Structure 1
């Protein structure tokens, strides 16, 4: 089963990124965009596995129009 959720990739002044998943508590980071994308996929995979194991209903993905991206951009992460 393939799932897509939006993630906000916040760009820091030093070139690093921190990633926020508005539909789940928590996020991840990376030294560059490529690493942040890999870590985001790993994070989302772990969260979805926990939801599945605990038999918790998955939230609907956030509407992209409502997400603040002042210091970065939004991408869908697919697992």
Structure 2
């Protein structure tokens, strides 16, 4: 069985989009895809503006907790 950490939606707000202005918008909320290996390397996997998941420096984001209703709304749009 997978850990809850693997399946629960996580979200992060972009604090820095240096080198990625077309893919990331500062202050936007992005869905995080759990990827233990890349997180150990200091990266984070997010679904960016293209609608695909890519790796970015974790320091560019702050992982945030959202109320369940907000999570549902974001996931319905994605």
TM above 0.5, yes or no, is: no
Q: TM-score range by the shorter chain?
A: under 0.3
TM-score, reference length from structure 1: 0.28
